[in-house]
Amino acid sequence: MKAAILGATGLVGQRFVQLLNDHPWFEITALTGSERTAGMRYGEAVTWRIETGLKEEIAELTVQPSNPKEIDADIVFSALPADQAIGIEEAFAKAGYAVVSNASAHRMAPDVPLMNPEVNFSHLKLIDEQRHTRNWDGALVTNPNCTTAVLSLSLKPICDRYGVKSVVMSSMQAASGAGYPGVASLDIINNVIPFIKEEEEKVQRETRKILGNVGQSAEFNVSASCHRVPVIDGHTEAVFVQTAKPAKPEQVADCMAEFSAEPQELKLPSAPERPIIVRSEQDRPQPRFDRNEGRGMSIVVGRVRRDPVLDGVKYVALGHNMVRGAAGCAILIAESMKSQGYI
């Protein structure tokens, strides 16, 4: 299948390029960029910031404008900034494309699935309603923001087995989450920035939409405090959970480690063998050593222990913000859509 990447020169766009490069189902056929870069060689237009390097055949592609009429693709991945995403993504869906977007623009729209495939695979069926309502043949599906992707996956087995009554989450987020050039070195070397614009609001509402039923957010509350730390890739999250039923830390660790869902059953190409890897060492997970587990699609959880305040459990979760938290998640969504006949 032919895949286009909208906003391919940004950091998330680059991750799409990297992850689709050897993909068994999807082949990159179009890369779009801003007016400034349209017409340039991709290799010239992009400031490539991924450590594994850019393949020469991709570098040779010509950057196109984000115009549905000029693109040849079966599936469209959007790494557009939120403000541009609104109009462009709708235009593509209206033109019949299946659009999977990393942008926040449409995430909370009632007829747009906000998908983290292992967590809410069944929400895909919202596409039928969307097609009906919006009267288009295309589709518009979104992935969650990077922090929510990690958090919601870690919560899923607890929700299923013990129920969740409330969640407090404090994040230590990587610089790559802010794109490129993004965070200035003078702001983050030897420093912590205790603020990421709109991030807490996104985490608080997206987590509930993903873990809820179609059309109905989950009933528990989420309180987030989001912080930027001097790390290139990998978001670390301290999570405190009040469970509905009593749950011992070992039980929670076990249900996380055993967790598996539709993407694993369907053996989707980007589905990690184990969505959640639980480590027993007292000092893990750590971004530098754990972010690439499951080729960046697994999250790693450690330090599952009793929480004396919420009368539940607390733990530390880590995931690769650019893979599980962005491009990788979107690709897994596309694979899920294809497996269900939506593409």
Task: List contacts with its own copies (CB under 8 A).
Answer: 11, 49, 51-53, 166-168, 170, 172, 175-176, 180-195, 204, 221-223, 225, 227, 229-232, 236, 238, 240, 282-289, 292, 302-303, 307-310, 314, 316, 318
Q: Which of 106, 123, 146, 255 is catalytic?
A: 146
Least spacing, CB of residue 290 vs its own copies, in Å: 9
Edge-first strand listing for the sheet containing 299-307: 221-228, 164-173, 235-243, 312-319, 299-307, 276-279
Can you say whether the dihedral through the CA atoms of 332, 18, 292, 210 is positive or negative?
negative
Residues 143, 120 contacting (CB under 8 angstroms): no
Least spacing, CB of residue 15 vs its own copies, in Å: 13
DSSP assigned state of 193:
B
Closest CB to its own copies among residues 308, 341: 308
Residues 292, 320 contacting (CB under 8 angstroms): yes
Closest CB to its own copies among residues 86, 192: 192
- How would you classify residue 234: left for phi > 0, otherwise alpha for psi between -120 and 50, otherwise beta? left
Tokens matching residue 239:
């999570």
Least spacing, CB of residue 178 vs its own copies, in Å: 8
Respond yes or no: is residue 235 known to be catalytic: yes
Least spacing, CB of residue 194 vs its own copies, in Å: 4
Respond yes or no: is residue 159 known to be catalytic: no
Nearest to 148 by CA among 114, 121, 174: 114
Closest CB to its own copies among residues 123, 209: 209
Q: Which of 106, 123, 235, 320 is catalytic?
A: 235
Residue 129: strand, helix, or coil: helix
Strand 299-307 relative to strand 312-319, pairing? antiparallel
Q: Which phi and psi angles does 210 have, rounded to 5°? A: -65, -40
Residue 30: strand, helix, or coil: strand
Close Cβ partners of 10 (under 8 Å, ≥ 6 residues apart): 79, 81, 179, 180
- Could you give the CA distance from residue 101 to residue 6 in angstroms, rounded to a whole number? 9
10 Å CB burial of residue 74 (0-12, 13-18, 19+) is middle
Q: Which residues pair with 242 in a beta bridge?
A: 166
Least spacing, CB of residue 281 vs its own copies, in Å: 9
Least spacing, CB of residue 261 vs its own copies, in Å: 24
Residue 222: strand, helix, or coil: strand
Residue 303 one-letter amino acid: R
Least spacing, CB of residue 162 vs its own copies, in Å: 17
- Show which residues are catalytic: 146, 235
